[in-house]
């Protein structure tokens, strides 16, 4: 897959599909070839809005489209696994919107399907490919702030309470943890790896989903991570990494930062800035293209084992208050 553009299929036509497709259309070497929805009229309307050549009235039709190289799974969380497996079994590579699935067991099973078929699959945790997040990880790896001793990150919002909305509905895998907690957890992984201890407290919504959750992760190195996700108030959306010789602070919103400050002992603070492309989804799309052109079945920057490991922590946190 070295010649010609990467041909994308979009599975699902909701808000995240709109945003991701708009970013794809900004990129050279990428083509949005087809879209699939459970309703033919919805697929056709999405295709008209974005100038997409083919609209499929079912997910199965999109998965069977031989002129698609990779499918972006943009369904609600509970449908990720089935939709991705459908595409993998039809021979399509997949980029699955975060979280990869709603449980670690489900993610492991899906990873087995991808590996058995020798097909590329990656979780769409776009933050991990944001330029300043990658630069932060590089600075830490190079020892710029010494040994990491603590990570702080928060991601809380205040959506109107609506028990039928996916954020509040347990049958739609609602709650802050899967939707927002995956961000604050994922950002710790390149810096500290898996935690040795996991503690959490949470306040439930009337529907029973987690509405305000604090996590304390401990590591064998002695480092800790203090993380917060919630639906009960709009938090600063910042992240900071503290080391024995300095700290790095990601400006809000940390999940797609345009500024970052490095503070080291005996030096003036250094601020790094970047002008993000589009909505910030272009970077993960470029990573998918890089991997496909190199014949990789996983991204070395976000391997499936890491996506599974994050979900293992989410499972532990959820089990502690359910």
- Averaged over successive runs of 10 residues, the pLDDT of the chain (322 residues) comes to 86 97 97 97 98 97 98 97 98 98 98 98 98 98 98 98 96 96 97 98 96 98 98 98 98 98 96 96 98 98 98 96 74
Which two structure tokens, joined as six digits, stand for 303?
């391997």
Instruction: Please state whether 157 falls in left (phi above 0), alpha (psi between -120 and 50) or beta.
Output: beta
Which two structure tokens, joined as six digits, stand for 286?
């470029």
Strand partners, 7: 31
In the 8-state DSSP scheme, what is residue 5?
-
Strand partners, 32: 8
Give the integer Cα–Cα distance in Å for 229 and 234.
Answer: 10
Look at residue 1 in the predicted model and tell me its pLDDT: 59
Look at residue 321 in the predicted model and tell me its pLDDT: 81
The answer to whether the CB of 73 falls within 8 A of the CB of 97 is: yes
Q: Where are the alpha helices (DSSP H) in the chain?
A: 15-24, 40-50, 59-63, 80-89, 104-117, 131-141, 176, 182-186, 189-192, 282-293, 304-320
Which two structure tokens, joined as six digits, stand for 83?
């939709």
Buried b (16+ CB within 10 A) or exposed e, 68-79: bbbbbbbbbbbb
Give the integer Cα–Cα distance in Å for 166 and 172.
Answer: 5
Look at residue 241 in the predicted model and tell me its pLDDT: 98
């Amino acid at each position: 897959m070295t010649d010609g553009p990467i041909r994308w299929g979009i599975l699902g036509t909701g808000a995240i599909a709109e945003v991701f497709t708009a970013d794809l259309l900004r990129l050279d070497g990428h083509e949005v070839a087809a879209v699939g929805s459970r309703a033919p009229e919805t697929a056709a309307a999405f295709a008209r809005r974005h100038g997409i050549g083919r609209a499929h009235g079912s997910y199965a039709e999109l998965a069977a489209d031989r002129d698609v190289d990779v499918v972006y799974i943009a369904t609600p969380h509970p449908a990720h696994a089935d939709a991705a497996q459908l595409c993998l079994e039809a021979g399509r590579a997949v980029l699955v919107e975060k979280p990869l699935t709603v449980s670690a067991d489900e993610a492991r099973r899906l990873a087995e399907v991808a590996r058995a078929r020798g097909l590329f699959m990656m979780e769409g945790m776009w933050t991990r490919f944001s330029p300043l997040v990658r630069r932060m990880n590089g600075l830490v790896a190079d020892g710029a702030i010494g040994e990491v001793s603590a990570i702080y990150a928060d991601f809380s919002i205040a959506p109107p309470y609506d028990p039928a909305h996916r954020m509040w509905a347990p049958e739609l895998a609602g709650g802050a943890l899967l939707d927002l907690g995956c961000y604050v957890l994922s950002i710790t992984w390149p810096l500290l790896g898996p935690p040795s201890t996991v503690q959490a407290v949470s306040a439930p919504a009337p529907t029973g989903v987690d509405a305000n959750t604090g996590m304390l992760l401990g590591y064998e190195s002695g480092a800790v991570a203090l993380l917060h996700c919630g639906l009960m108030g709009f938090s600063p959306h910042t992240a900071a990494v503290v080391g024995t010789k300095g700290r790095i602070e990601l400006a809000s919103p940390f999940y797609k930062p345009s500024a970052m400050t490095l503070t080291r002992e005996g030096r003036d603070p250094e601020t790094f800035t970047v002008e993000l492309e589009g909505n910030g989804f272009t970077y993960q799309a470029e990573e998918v293209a890089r991997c496909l052109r190199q014949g990789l079945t996983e991204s070395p920057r976000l391997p499936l084992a890491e996506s599974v490991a994050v979900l293992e922590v989410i499972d532990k946190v959820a089990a502690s208050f359910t």
